[in-house]
Amino acid sequence: MKKLLVTTFLSATLISCSNEQVSMEEGSCFSNGVSTYQWTMVTTWPKNFPGLGMGPENFSKYVDEMTCGRMKIKVYGAGEFVPPMGVFDAVSQGNVQLGHGASYYWTGKVKSSQFFTAVPFGLTAQEMNGWLHYGGGLELWQEAYAPFNLIPLAGGNSGVQMAGWFKKEINSLDDLKGLKMRIPGLAGEVFTRAGAETVTLPGNEIFLSLQQGVVDAAEWVGPYNDLTFGFHQVADYYYYPGWHEPGSTLEIIINKDAYESLPEDLKAVIKYAARAANQEMLDEYTARNNKALNELIEKHNIELRKLPDSVLIELRRITDEVMEDFIADDEMAQKVYKSYTEFKDQVINYHRISEKAYIDTRELD
């Protein structure tokens, strides 16, 4: 009888606990007393800007969903909370917990940051993800940002961009001489050495600058974003391929002190929400660029042109010179460049017989 009573009591207790657990899961995500977090994210993009600006919005949404509201992230567009080029410092100093932008904006502070967005004639989006997550790139990125109390994560990718909008045809390298073009970063230095005059402008000033003749050419992102800005109204020729940004990775930066204050489960949510947002953006650009390019060609009758091979070959030669000069006086940049180029050489060999070979085969008549 005693055994029967004990067994009955234990069974009832287990059933009660089980029912209580199910009830709590069905009624609410978390029990009372669980800490909640309100974080702020600043960005270099206009609020809800298609593609680029949706990366931080998606990240915030995923964190909210995966924590069932336990962690909320308020996203501010460029200039709403801090200036677009103030994102790095705001997060580093702990004024906010999170930032979203492109690492090559900070080359004046961290020279090696260039490699974690895009390098002319460098890695594609797929290859960048491979290098970052399985080739040691992310560890180097974190090492480079550690002195600034920051933890970086990949936070989106636009894929291969377009070479840009031009008011005149480009048939040889001579056509670049004296050309005024909006093109930033290392690619701008390459164009300068090729004889062009390069200008750095924020995206919202490109249209007017093309229209008024301040610049003769400009690159931005690709069909999806370029159509939104209406560049087809002020430039006739749309050139490809995007030799200067073959797979532009965006970043999520986290204040290290804020990150370390989180419980382990929320640290994991941040990590995997970033991975999801990173892939989500590439998926969107892959789909939206197709539709936008068709509209540019069929509705707006733009002239789609490929840069001549002779021009691309010379730009690649100049790029090699620029890269050697760029890393010459920076030990960390040299370290990252070595890892980057070694991975690139390996992946090129494989993609020559995989991705490229298949695409060439698919286009056979």
DSSP, collapsed to helix, strand or coil, labels residue 70 as: coil
Give the model confidence (pLDDT) of 165-215 as tens digits.
Answer: 999 999 999 999 999 999 988 999 999 999 999 998 878 889 999 999 999
HSE toward the beta carbon, residue 27, CA cutoff 13 A: 8
pLDDT of residue 32: 54
Separation between Cα atoms, residue 146 and residue 143, nearest integer Å: 5
Which pLDDT does position 26 carry in this prediction? 44
Across all residues in the chain, what is the average pLDDT? 91
What's the predicted TM-score (pTM) here? 0.89
Distance CA 222, CA 190 (A): 20
Q: How many CA atoms lie within 13 A of 164 on its CB side?
A: 28
Q: Specify whether the CB–CB gap between 197 and 278 falls below 8 A.
A: no
Alpha-carbon distances of 271 from 41, 57, 104, 132, 266, rounded to whole Å: 15, 15, 21, 14, 9
Burial annotation 261-298 (CB, 10 A radius, 16+ → b, else e): ebeeebeebbeebbeebbebbbebbeebbeebbeebee
Report residue 8's pLDDT band, with 50, 70 and 90 as the boundaries.
very low
Structure confidence at residue 275 (pLDDT): 98
**pLDDT tens column, 86-126:** 999 999 999 999 999 999 999 999 999 999 999 999 999 99
Q: H or E stretch including 251?
A: strand 249-255
Least confident of 32-36, 137-141, 150-154, 268-272: 32-36
Q: How many angstroms from the chain centroid is the CA of residue 182?
A: 20
How far apart CA 172 and CA 91 sit, in angstroms, is 44
pLDDT at 345 > cutoff 50: yes
Can the peptide bond before residue 241 be classed as cis, meaning omega within 30 degrees of 0? Answer: yes
What DSSP state is assigned to residue 157?
E
pLDDT at 354: 97
What percent of the chain clears pLDDT 70, i.e. is strictly above it? 91
Specify the pLDDT at position 29.
65
Model confidence over 303-327: pLDDT tens digits? 999 999 999 999 999 999 999 999 9
With b for 16 or more beta-carbon neighbours within 10 A and e for fewer, the 212-245 pattern comes to: eeebbbbbbbbbbbbbbbebbebbebbbbebbbb
Residue 215 pLDDT: 97
pLDDT number for residue 33: 60
Q: What is the pLDDT of residue 203?
A: 80
Whether residue 1 has pLDDT greater than 50: no
Q: Is the pLDDT assigned to residue 17 strictly greater than 60?
A: no
What confidence tens digit (pLDDT) does each residue in 280-296 have? 999 999 999 999 999 99
Mean pLDDT of 41-65: 96
What does the pLDDT read at residue 200? Answer: 83
CATH of domain 37-157+247-286: 3.40.190.170
Decide if pLDDT at 5 tops 80.
no
Lowest mean pLDDT among 33-42, 54-63, 206-215, 240-249: 33-42
User: Mind listing the pLDDT tens digit for each residue in 19-50?
Assistant: 334 333 444 565 456 789 999 999 999 999 99
Average pLDDT for 229-236:
96
Judged against a pLDDT cut of 50, whether residue 58 lies above it is answered with yes
